[in-house]
Amino acid sequence: MPGHQRAKNVAYDDDDFYSGDDYYEDEEGGQNELSPEDQEQMRLGTIKVKEALDSTISVTDKQIEEALWNYYYNIGKSVTYLKNTFGPKQKSITEPQKTKTTTRFDQAASAASSTVTEMPSPLYAYEQMATATFSRTSASKGCADYPVPLPAFAPLDYESITATDFFFDVPWGNVPQERLGTISIQPLLPRGRLLGGSSRPSKLAALAAARKRKQEEAKIASAQPALSEAKSETDKAVSLLDRLNVKENDAAPTHSSDGGEAIRRESVAKRYPLKKRAPSPEVVETKVDEDESAGEQIPLPEFPDIRTGPSTFASTLCGRGGASADLDSGFASISPFPNSTGLLQAFKGPSPDDIVLNAQAKGTKPKSTQPKKTKGDKLAASMEKMAVEETPKVKSKNLDVIKEFEQSGMKPMANFVVIGHVDHGKSTLMGRLLFDLKVVDQRSVDKLRKEAETIGKSSFAFAWVMDQTSEERSRGVTVDIATNYFETSKTRFTILDAPGHQDFIPNMIAGASQADFAVLVIDASTNSFEAGLKGQTKEHALLVRSMGVQRLIVAVNKMDTVAWSQSRFNEISTQMTTFLTAASFSLKSLTFIPVAGLTGDNVTTPVQNPNAAWYAGGETLIDALDASEPAKRNIEKPLRLTISDVFRGGITNPVSISGRLDSGSLQIGDSVLCMPANESAVIKGLEVENEPVDWVVAGQIATLHLSDIDPVHLRLGDIVCDAKKPVKLVKEFTAKILAFEHVMPMGVDVFRGRLQAEGKVKTLLAVLNKGSGEVVKKKPRIVKPSEVARVCVQLERELPLEVGTRVVLREGGATVAAGLLEG
Amino acid sequence: MRLLKSQIDTKHGAGFVTLLPEEPEDMWHAYNLIQPSDLLRARAIRRVTKTSDSGSVASQRITLDLTIAVTSTDFDVGSGQLHVAGRVASENEHVKLGSHHTLDLELHRKFTIEKVGEGGGGWDSVALEMLREACETERRAELWAVVMGEGTANICLITEHQTILRQRVEVPVPRKRRGGVDGHDKGMEKFYSTTLATLLRHMDLGKESTAGAADKTVPLLLASPGFVAQAFLQYVKSEATRVGNKALMTLVPSILVAHSSSFHVHALKEVLASPAILSKLSDTKFARETVLMDKFTTLLRQDDGRAWYGPREVERAVEKGAVGRGGGVLMISNALFRAQNVTERRRWVGLVDQVKEVEGGEVRVLSSLHESGKRLEALGNVAAILTFPLEDIDEEDDETGEAPGGEDMVI
């Protein structure tokens, strides 16, 4: 397009353009031809498109050119468009249209985003013209924002409709050929389908416009009972609306002159290609409406099928139940600029608003007034019933839990804690175990591996099965206990994956306090084992022992890094045996298993590595786990449960706690006492391993859904106990301790499971003989490491501690002592 | 604290001082200075009832200067208020001699302490030292510290002589659960916001009270096991930029992050002992005290007989001249000097004098409100580092059959 024309056209306003038909014609004359550049491009493009289209689709050069023009010489798009429109068309007429309905929006949307910047595009101008015709009168500047290059410009429609059919009832005169050519929008007709869904804003706007002009319209109607285009054309004084109608009718004949169609369209399109308009969806809608109204005139056979029914909103507006059955008048009333007959009819009756209002008045009022009373009574009555029903307490099934448990023949259960120094591979080993046992599926592991790779820690994939919080993942360390379940043929296991880092020993203690036995993971690689022995390998082992864990499986991990060296394994075994027996583990309760968590060797399946031939036939980790003896349960004793988590279990269970039953049993409906808050609660629901159950017994880690208690009374480490046999609160206690460090009168942290309290060693009462427990020295000045002593500990606040409870004393990040409460 | 007037007979220890408290910490000094049987003169508000000749009773609140003979003192650590109860010692037209009154000492309102000397305690060396310390006008270190863990934060104000737990924040944070980690994250978010809001509220209060030092920013110390402190610092930074809180943004550069092993207040001692913090705060009293206590416990662990604790043991060590020149240090909590019993106080003052004057050893009076003082309190409020090992002190103690713990109850 020549630059000067472009510049000239920029100045054009819609008003200018549409102010007179003369102008229209002039303009057209000047732009009838393509510029040389465009012609060249068109030529090249046509060739390319032809190449791209396979021979099955028969398309004329003109159609191709048209498509290219629409897509601004975008060959790909043109080809797609042509394929879409001409390909399926041969088979049926309705089908392609249907497909079009779906695609057009998408296309329009994508085109809007992609081509807006491309303007001025010929296509744009083309559409521009189409829209302008009706939106002009919509009294809104909306058309100025016409955005969407509508690609699916349906040549099919105008091909299938002959001009004579189309205009058989239109009484027009001899309109100049050129002008007839302008309205190439006719193909847009089927777009009326869109009405069904999304034309609300524009409809409303249209409605408003329509209402505004109601009077005017009525006048016009009376003045010109048979509104003809000739009349309106001559009469320049008629309203904008009328003018539009004229145009539209004007446009229609375009099709009668098939010959110059393409050129004409092109020329029209070129006429105002430079009008920059921001996107405005409203206009699209208006156009759609307009098309509909125009469409009424055309007896398209498939028309009713294509159209989706108007939205309920639309039908309400029109005040008709079956709007689709009588589309014509429905559309007429919606369309702001309907053709004369439709318009007249539409405004003869009550306005849509009136209809709606009337309908509302008829419909809702009697309903709402009369039955309201009876309903209200019913409602009140039902509310009363509800109120009665709301209060009932949780019903207890009054089960004999002990008997139930014996009868259930439940598989033996075991909880084990996984301990060891930081980065020795505890979480990874457990992740591998769960993966190999199909508890975690391949998909999640793949996902985790991908995520891990993105932050460059691909080896952490298995650990992430256990480490789920963002902090744990980004730092690569376990922070808190992770609980997981799996089942072997013999036993149901609960894994408590403890953090290895020194800072999180409180969490590890919490986990260890729930365990029946422990798996100690040791890194076999050089220096790691030695570092661990000084660090948490030692501390953890001592802690689990002092918390009453008897059996220990030592998993010598990362054997792959030392090439499954037997000597390394033996070296570690010997050293650890010496250390552990010194820590009063009995030799027969120790099991050493070489494993490789990352590769999965000897975890569930025996190791295949040729270097590991020396271990052929040896136990795998899972074998060792299975060999564990079920723990003894204190079912007969009164209930004790240490709260290890307080959380919101969901909308139905606002207060939920979880923890291991140290002793006793529980069933739904039981009333329990929470200490030290001394608040009672009722068990609303019970869960074990995320499955609802009716009862739980000692040894199980259960989730309790509570009612009748405020969560502020529940803290980690609190004890849930039998209301009849409550646990006593103590402020000061004596304990027999095994010192790991020097113990002197000092401030300490007292740990008991999740419970973590401030306290101080008040007095050192005596140093005892390790074996016999006899007093060796009274009132020592200091208790040295590995000595056994009796001390008096004073707490900051009263805590539920019972005789026989195992406590751990820590100070300054180190475990000072572990002991047994004596009273 | 400003010393307005003093008239002390150093020989007998009799005399008075007039003091003007200027900051909350001065109340703590006053608490340590005022002994039972002292005379305290301060402005008081008292309701006075008058019966006229006709028999009608008129009640009136009047402000007057009262002198009371102190019977007991009560110090509220949290709010820094000191209430001194006693009996009116000088009659005036409104109040009769001997009637009871409790004086509330207030900031910026002068009071006079008079010690009678001889029989009643007087201005002994310890009291004079305390007075000197109280009236030191040099810059006083002040530090806010937040010792935190998941869901718990202790907001403390550390001053030259006190560690005050201003507030404890507890927010329930759900632990990580299978499939539901967002509860944990949400809980932590809530915990951070609560902690920050509480902290800011307290720090603002602190700024008001130290009106003179409003321009200097008080350093803030964040300590926690694991990553909570770092995460909180991160939160503070993002919050400061998000809200555009200028005051908070100026605070950010003065935030120190340290590692502690637990979220309890007593974890502060390891924070203060850590090299990074110590290098910044080494000139402060609490840092020095912490270092000293650490040295003592290290010696105690070595168990070579050079570190002893407990009243009786330390007294014996001093008797034997083991706390003298060349490394002998006597550590004593100022709680002992607040003893209600005059003879008890004399005992400790005597011990201090002995070490200082006769033996030539070093005496450190630790504030019972600091962490170091609390550690010393656990050891019986008095401990000593000896110049030479002594082995048999507690053996003798065993023979006498007196429990060292029994003496702890003096305070």
Q: Report the pLDDT value the prediction gives residue A408, as an integer from 0 to 100.
A: 80
Q: What is the mean pLDDT of chain A?
A: 71
User: Considering only CA atoms, which of A703, A691, A630, A714 is closest in space to residue A666?
Assistant: A703
Q: What is the mean pLDDT of chain B?
A: 81
CA angle A256, A261, A263 (to 5 degrees): 155
Q: Report the pLDDT value the prediction gives residue A307, as an integer from 0 to 100.
A: 56
B407 and chain A in contact, CB less than 8 A: no
* Interchain CB contacts (distance < 8 Å): A and B: 111
Q: Which of A764, A781, A795 to mutate to test the interface with B (most CBs of B within 10 A)?
A: A781
- Coil, strand, or helix at residue B31? helix
Q: Report the pLDDT value the prediction gives residue B193, as an integer from 0 to 100.
A: 92
Cβ-count burial A773-792 (b if 16+ within 10 Å, e if not): eeeebebbbbbeeebbbbbb
Q: Report the pLDDT value the prediction gives residue B18, as an integer from 0 to 100.
A: 92
Q: Do A480 and B175 touch (CB under 8 A)?
A: yes
Phi, psi torsion values for B131, nearest 5 degrees: -60, -45
Comparing alpha-carbon positions, the chain B residue that sits nearest to A510 is B175
Place A233 in a pLDDT band, splitting at 50, 70 and 90. very low
Q: Do A484 and B178 touch (CB under 8 A)?
A: yes
pLDDT at A503 over 50: yes
Q: Which of A645, A646, A709, A775 to mutate to test the interface with B (most CBs of B within 10 A)?
A: A645
Q: Do A782 and B300 touch (CB under 8 A)?
A: yes
Q: Do B270 and A778 touch (CB under 8 A)?
A: no
d(CA A272, CA A555): 81
B65 and chain A in contact, CB less than 8 A: no
Q: Report the pLDDT value the prediction gives residue A791, as an integer from 0 to 100.
A: 92
* Counts for chain B of helices (H) and strands (E), in that order: 12, 16
Q: Report the pLDDT value the prediction gives residue A13, as an integer from 0 to 100.
A: 45
Q: How far away is chain B from the Cα of A467, in angstroms, using its nearest Cα?
A: 9
- Coil, strand, or helix at residue B316? helix
CB-nearest partner of A503 from B226, B308, B405: B226
d(CA B176, CA B184): 6
- Chain B residues in contact with A539 (beta carbon < 8 A): none
CB-nearest partner of B300 from A470, A481, A744: A744
pLDDT digits (tens, 9 = 90+) for A43-62: 777 777 777 776 666 777 77
Question: Residue A170 in contact with residue A229, Cβ under 8 Å?
Answer: yes
* Domain range B285-410, CATH architecture: 2-Layer Sandwich (3.30)
User: Considering only CA atoms, which of A140, A430, A123 is closest in space to residue A280?
Assistant: A140
Question: Residue A479 in contact with residue A504, Cβ under 8 Å?
Answer: yes
Contacts of B298 (CB under 8 A, 6+ apart): none
More confident residue, A151 or A308: A308
Place A732 in a pLDDT band, splitting at 50, 70 and 90. very high
Domain extents in chain B? 2-134, 146-281, 285-410
Q: Which two tokens stand for residue B183?
A: 């509860």
Give me the interface pTM, i.e. the ipTM. Answer: 0.78
Comparing alpha-carbon positions, the chain B residue that sits nearest to A657 is B174
pLDDT at B120 over 80: no
Quick one: angle between helices A261-271 and A61-70, nearest 10?
10
Q: Average pLDDT, stretch A16-37?
A: 49
Q: Do B265 and A761 touch (CB under 8 A)?
A: no
pLDDT at B275 over 80: no
pLDDT at B380 over 50: yes
Q: Which of B152, B156, B163, B175 to mutate to test the interface with A (most CBs of A within 10 A)?
A: B175
Q: Report the pLDDT value the prediction gives residue A516, as an integer from 0 to 100.
A: 87
Q: Do B174 and A648 touch (CB under 8 A)?
A: yes
- Chain B residues in contact with A746 (beta carbon < 8 A): 297, 375, 378-379
pLDDT at B189 over 80: yes
Q: Report the pLDDT value the prediction gives residue A323, as an integer from 0 to 100.
A: 39
User: What DSSP string describes B239-274?
Assistant: HHHHHT-HHHHHHGGGEEEEE-SSSSGGGHHHHHHS
d(CA B177, CA B191): 18
- Chain B residues in contact with A760 (beta carbon < 8 A): 378
B217 and chain A in contact, CB less than 8 A: no
User: What DSSP string describes B189-220?
Assistant: HHHHHHHHHHHHHHHHHHHHHTGGG-SSPPPE
CB-nearest partner of B301 from A471, A742, A763: A742
CB-nearest partner of A747 from B184, B260, B378: B378
- Chain B residues in contact with A503 (beta carbon < 8 A): 225-226, 259, 261
Residue A221 carries which side chain, given as an amino acid letter?
A
- Chain A residues in contact with B313 (beta carbon < 8 A): 781
Q: Report the pLDDT value the prediction gives residue A201, as an integer from 0 to 100.
A: 52
Q: How far away is chain B from the Cα of A71, in angstroms, using its nearest Cα?
A: 47
More confident residue, A397 or A766: A766
Helix (H) or strand (E) holding A87: none
Comparing alpha-carbon positions, the chain B residue that sits nearest to A659 is B175
B403 and chain A in contact, CB less than 8 A: yes
- Chain A residues in contact with B306 (beta carbon < 8 A): none
User: Considering only CA atoms, which of A535, A469, A461, A540 is closest in space to residue A498?
Assistant: A540
Q: Report the pLDDT value the prediction gives residue A4, as an integer from 0 to 100.
A: 53
Place A154 in a pLDDT band, splitting at 50, 70 and 90. very low
d(CA B358, CA B355): 6
Q: Which of A466, A496, A503 to mutate to test the interface with B (most CBs of B within 10 A)?
A: A503
More confident residue, B135 or A78: B135
d(CA A111, CA A74): 12
Question: Residue A558 in contact with residue A596, Cβ under 8 Å?
Answer: yes
Q: Report the pLDDT value the prediction gives residue B192, as an integer from 0 to 100.
A: 92
The most confident of A240-244, A306-310, B24-28, by mean pLDDT? B24-28
Q: Do A470 and B185 touch (CB under 8 A)?
A: yes
Q: Which two tokens stand for residue A701?
A: 């880690």
Q: Report the pLDDT value the prediction gives residue A238, as an integer from 0 to 100.
A: 44
pLDDT digits (tens, 9 = 90+) for A419-436: 988 888 888 888 888 888
- Chain A residues in contact with B380 (beta carbon < 8 A): 745
More confident residue, A763 or A239: A763
User: What DSSP string describes A757-807?
Assistant: EEEEEEEEEEEE-TTT--EEEES-S-BPTT-EEEEEEEEEEEEE--TT-EE
pLDDT digits (tens, 9 = 90+) for A582-626: 888 888 888 899 988 888 888 888 888 888 888 887 888 888 888
- Chain A residues in contact with B374 (beta carbon < 8 A): 747
- Pairing relation of β-strands A492-497 and A413-420? parallel
Q: Which two tokens stand for residue A341?
A: 């007959």
Which CATH number applies to B146-281? Answer: 3.30.420.60
pLDDT digits (tens, 9 = 90+) for A246-257: 444 444 444 444
Q: Which of A508, A732, A734, A744 to mutate to test the interface with B (most CBs of B within 10 A)?
A: A744
Question: Residue B411 in contact with residue B309, Cβ under 8 Å?
Answer: no
Q: Which two tokens stand for residue A751?
A: 């740990």
Q: Do B178 and A646 touch (CB under 8 A)?
A: no
Length of chain B: 411
Which CATH number applies to B2-134? Answer: 2.30.30.870
- Pairing relation of β-strands A517-523 and A413-420? parallel
d(CA B297, CA B308): 10
User: Considering only CA atoms, which of A503, A492, A484, A489 is closest in space to residue A418?
Assistant: A484
Comparing alpha-carbon positions, the chain B residue that sits nearest to A781 is B394
